[in-house]
Structure 1
Amino acid sequence: MSKQTITLTIAGTDICFEPTLVAYNSYINGLSMSDKVAPSHQYLKRIVCAQSKEALDTLLARPGAALQVAAKVNEQFAPDLDIEVKN
């Protein structure tokens, strides 16, 4: 799989991410019913492009930002599959 760069414009600032399968799987495995914010924060810090680190740090100071941004990155990186059940 080739490297994928995802650029999001958030609050008027472009922030780019380079998610990987390893980082994505680690993020999913780290989520729990009682802890979603810390894994989302760590995941974004792990996959942000070098030139976007400062902008991401500023953004992550906002309540709920980590969850919203991680969800939007993952919509692009791991889109829903069209799955049918046949009997």
Structure 2
Amino acid sequence: MEQKKIVLAIGGESLSFVPTEVDYNDYINELMPDNKVAPAHNFVFNTAVEESKPAVREIAATNPSAVVQIAAVLMQEFAPALDIKVKK
């Protein structure tokens, strides 16, 4: 299965990420009610391509909530929500 590259425009820079099913599963499995930032950080940095990592580090250093926001956008793009309705 070909990996999908996701390019995000953040702060005027184009940053590339290549999430895999393993990255996705690890992220979901690590999420806990009292632990969301560390899994988001791991997901973002594990999926960032090498050329984008320095910029991602800088963004994360200047904006503590950045990795959570980036992870949310990556998840929306990698695993879009299904339109599910309960039939009665």
After TM superposition, the score normalised by the length of structure 1 is 0.94
Identity %: 43
Residues 4-29 of structure 1: CA distance to partner in whole angstroms, max 9, x if unpaired?
00000101111100000110110011
**Match status 1:82 vs 2:83:** yes
CA distance in 1 between counterparts of 2:2 and 2:83 reads 23
Q: Displacement, 1:84?
A: 2.2
After TM superposition, the score normalised by the length of structure 2 is 0.93
Residues 22-81 of structure 1: CA distance to partner in whole angstroms, max 9, x if unpaired?
101100110111111111001111100111111111111112001100001111100001
Equivalent residues in 2 for 1:1-87, closer than 5 Å: 1-61=1-61, 62-87=63-88
Which ranges of structure 1 fall in alignment gaps of 5 or more residues?
none
What amino acid maps onto 1:4 in structure 2?
K
Backbone CA RMSD of aligned residues: 0.9
Which ranges of structure 2 fall in alignment gaps of 5 or more residues?
none
CA distance in 2 between counterparts of 1:86 and 1:47 reads 37
Aligned length: 87
| Runs of 4+ displaced beyond 6 Å | none
